Amino acid sequence: MLTYTAKRLAMAIPTLLIVITVSFFLMRVAPGGPFDGERQLPPEIENNLRAAYHLDEPLPMQYLRYMGNLLQGDFGPSFKYKDFSVTQLILQGFPVSLELGGLAIGLALIIGLPLGVIAALRRNSTVDYMVMGIALGGIAVPNFVIAPILALVFGVLLAWLPAGGWNGGALPNLVLPVIALAIQQIAYIARMMRASMIETLGSHFIRTARAKGLSERQVIWRHALRPSMLPVISYLGPAIAGIITGSVVIEQIFGLPGIGRYFVQGALNRDYTLVMGTVVFYGVLIVLMNLVVDLLYSALDPQIRYDD
């Protein structure tokens, strides 16, 4: 297992290198630059800016400089948020996104898994149709629709909860964004769990368990639940990486200081260093999450072993 983990981590290095290199050059090829905006700059001022950020150097030089700094853990300064380095922006924003995303995934699991199981056990009943109908609704309605409605109803009209703001992470400020983030995940997880549970319940070892005379509860808890989790686990890896790196929609609608917005705004502003910082960060996270998923697989399914 240790060797396997070490091998996987070593393999991640060339992957990340390719991701960084491709992103670096793609970003430079994109039309428009970091200093193109409503206020068109006189050439001498643009030159000064380019010099200040080393953009006047040949591209290979810039690439080497960037990689050199990256090795020392320096993501460089943000072009747009000049009082912060990219590292500072990520370090300030990530805990917020992590907290929101972690709570949302937790909530999604607590609600989504049982819903999926119940729907699978009562297959083709009214309960099943209701659960799956609601889940379909949850997937179909995007969170840029759900979030403002939540803010309007619970923040403005009923005034039970704040309509926005982080407020140092106070509980009332977390409720609406966590729900808005979780709704889609609940729907996905419930649907996936239902499908996988139905498949498991039809398999031979379940028939054997039932033939042994085990109670239905024992069949489900002991034998059906674990293998049914596998597809959900493999979905959760990238889903967690996605959700804990924030959501630009949720952050803008609730005014939260997470890092989701940097992915979008960095790209729109051609804030090269910020885009690269988020790409590297996200890349590392995806690699790690996928590794965790694969290791979890072996814990859940005895047929999967990573020993040499």
Applying CB under 8 A, the residues found at the interface with other proteins are 30-45, 48-49, 51-53, 80-84, 88-89, 92-93, 148, 151-152, 155-157, 159, 162-166, 251-258, 261, 268-270
- Residue 81 to residue 55: CA distance in whole angstroms: 17
Q: How far is the CB of 38 from other proteins (least distance, A)?
A: 6
Q: Closest Cα to residue 219, out of 230, 205, 233?
A: 205
Give the nearer residue to other proteins in terms of CB position, either 191 or 261. Answer: 261
Give the nearer residue to other proteins in terms of CB position, either 161 or 232. Answer: 161
Q: How far is the CB of 285 from other proteins (least distance, A)?
A: 20
Residue 58: φ, ψ to 5°: -60, 150
Q: How far is the CB of 89 from other proteins (least distance, A)?
A: 6
Q: Closest Cα to residue 147, out of 241, 255, 12, 13?
A: 255
Q: How far is the CB of 262 from other proteins (least distance, A)?
A: 9
- Residue 69 to residue 60: CA distance in whole angstroms: 14
**Tokens in use for 276?**
């690269």
- Residue 26 to residue 157: CA distance in whole angstroms: 46
Q: How far is the CB of 48 from other proteins (least distance, A)?
A: 4
Asked if 188 and 107 touch (Cβ cutoff 8 Å), the reply is no
Give the nearer residue to other proteins in terms of CB position, either 266 or 283. Answer: 266
16 burial type by CB count under 10 A (0-12 exposed, 13-18 middle, 19+ buried):
middle
SS3 24: helix
Q: How far is the CB of 115 from other proteins (least distance, A)?
A: 30
Give the nearer residue to other proteins in terms of CB position, either 102 or 148. Answer: 148
Give the nearer residue to other proteins in terms of CB position, either 224 or 256. Answer: 256
Give the nearer residue to other proteins in terms of CB position, either 49 or 132. Answer: 49
